[in-house]
Amino acid sequence: MTSTAARSGSGQDLHAVFAPVFDRIAVGAVDREIDRRLPYEEVGWLREARFGALRVPVEYGGFGASVRQLFALLIDLAAAESNLPQALRVHFSFVEDQLLAAPGPAREHWLRAVADGALVGNAITEPGVGAVDRYRTRLTRDGERWLLDGVKYYSTGSLYADYILTAADRDGERVSVLVDARAEGVRQHDDWDGFGQRLTASGTTEFTGVAVPEDRILGPGYGVGGPTYATSYLQLVQLSVLAGIARRAEQDARDWVAARTRSYTHAAAELPREDPLVQQVIGRLSAAAFTARATVLAVAELLDEVLDTGATDEKALRTVELAAAQAQLSVIDVVLAATTQLFEVGGASVVSERLRLDRHWRNARTVSVHNPAIQKARAIGDFLLNDTELPFAWSAGERPAKEAAR
């Protein structure tokens, strides 16, 4: 039973609630990586602790956490298991959408469902198609009901979820649809073949004649042109993953060095932990973890301001979008460098398969290619030089005119 004090939303109380859960999750991280065991049990621990209800107001049974508190805990979770914050990325965005929705029974229903442990995954992107204006997934009328048919990929987190947020074409109109993950006609596959973030359950989802009630058709959703909080928010989840990876990489390297007794004949000290060159590497790893965390939380504070005022101020939305884009470029560079530098602390033994220290670089490299940095750097420069609108969430076929920028 979670205490009332722990549900007050204070950062210290929330850390006390979730730190023991994160510690349990961290224990099996290497074995899960070796065995490619999806963390169903670990997601169950998070569900039991109601981690998904962090942003749900206390009056609906949640913790009432701020955005900054949420992202601080996502970094902590990523340090324990980098796959899990990414798997929950769309869940937390769904919660934000409910918080921003007009008061009413539907909003209250979903907030209370999340407070009771419900988790939301996603199945939006399609294999071989990509852009949101070319969805092949269809929602069609069949008498008094709607039927959903299509194939999606990058279905991150959906194998762990109770509901799947998907996107479809309905008579030429893009719509978002919330599907029961265990509904008849839903088939999910763990066929994600990336070399990193292997346990995010980011594979294929098939919808075959899935019955969809009218109240599960939520509107246009992802891909609507114009300023939105969602793209900076979703990007920041990925950056929190990188920040957590940096922290775990530094901790793993430090633990390995501290226990090591063998050095080189030409080393500056008999013990690696006393070697000034090794100490320098650990110092750099620590600085990288600090920088990544501080950057993520600085953007989270801007998101707090935007979301607290209803996410309708377009100037504020552009400010936070720019900040998230700039943070992406800096955090990626810092964390990729750190997860490479960690191998400088030792010789051939540091690359042991049993240690799996390579997972930190593989996971960071995989997370960093979501929204390629070269495209984001160009968009930042075009915005600053030419007032061209930042990309937000529209597809490649819907680039806005420059004169519509502000």
Rounded CA-CA distance 67/17 in Å is 17
User: Do 46 and 160 belong to one domain?
Assistant: no
Token pair belonging to 340 = 């490479």
Is 276 in the same domain as 356? Answer: yes
- One domain for residues 242 and 332: yes
Residues 187 and 306 in one domain: no
242 and 271 together in one domain: yes
Domain boundary (220, 250, 272) is at 220
**257 and 194 part of one domain:** no
φ, ψ dihedrals at 219, nearest 5°: 115, -170
Do residues 237 and 349 both lie within one domain?
yes
Task: Write the burial class of residue 47 (CB in 10 Å: 0-12 exposed, 13-18 middle, 19+ buried).
Answer: middle
Give the model's pLDDT for residue 261: 86
Given 118, 149, 175, which residue is the final one in a domain? 118
Spatial separation of the C-alpha atoms in residues 210 and 11, rounded to whole Å: 42
Backbone φ and ψ of 363, nearest 5°: -65, -40
Q: Are 292 and 246 in contact (CB under 8 A)?
A: yes
CB 137 within 8 A of CB 168: yes
Give the separation between CA 315 and CA 205, rounded to whole angstroms. 37
Same-domain pairing of 183 and 261: no
Same domain assignment for residues 243 and 206 = no
- Contact, 241 vs 80, CB < 8 A? no
For residue 167, which of 186, 152, 183 has the smallest C-alpha distance? Answer: 152
The amino acid at residue 318 is: R
Residues 37 and 81 in one domain: yes
H-run or E-run covering 69: helix 67-80
Amino acid at 269: A
> Helix 358-368 crosses helix 314-341 at what angle (to 10 degrees)?
150
Name, in order, each residue with C-beta under 8 angstroms of 129's C-beta and a sequence gap of 6 or more: 135, 136
Q: Is residue 403 part of a domain?
A: no
Report the number of distinct structural domains present in the chain: 3
Q: What's the whole-model pTM score?
A: 0.93
Instruction: Evaluate whether residue 142 is within a structural domain.
Output: yes
Q: pLDDT below 70 — which residues of the chain?
A: 1-12, 129-133, 221-225, 393-406
CATH (domain of 112): 1.10.540.10
In contact, 257 and 278? CB cutoff 8 Å: yes
CB 37 within 8 A of CB 31: yes
Residue 127: CATH number of its domain: 2.40.110.10
As a whole number of angstroms, the distance between CA 50 and CA 115 comes to 7
CATH of the domain at 264: 1.20.140.10
As a whole number of angstroms, the distance between CA 44 and CA 162 comes to 12
DSSP summary character for residue 272: G
In a domain, 394, yes or no: no
Q: Considering the domain boundaries, does residue 392 fall inside one?
A: no
**Cβ of 264: how many Cβ atoms within 10 Å?**
11
Tell me which of 92, 118, 144 is where a domain ends.
Answer: 118
In the block, residue with structure tokens 């805990």: 73
* Beta strand ranges found along 226-333 (DSSP E): none
Flag whether 102 is in a domain.
yes
Determine the pLDDT at residue 133.
Answer: 64
Q: What is the C-alpha to C-alpha distance for residues 389 and 374, in angstroms, rounded to an integer?
A: 17
- 139 φ/ψ angles, rounded to the nearest 5 degrees: -115, 115
Which residues, in sequence order, are bridge partners of residue 207? 150, 186
Together in a domain, 251 and 337 = yes
Q: Which two tokens stand for residue 357?
A: 């220290």
Supply the range of the domain harboring residue 184. 123-220
- Are residue 72 and residue 105 in the same domain, yes or no? yes
**Would residue 166 count as lying in a domain?**
yes
Domain presence at residue 163: yes
* Spatial separation of the C-alpha atoms in residues 346 and 352, rounded to whole Å: 11
**Measured distance CA(305)–CA(310) in Å, rounded:** 9
Structure tokens at 288: 């990288």
Q: Is residue 23 part of a domain?
A: yes
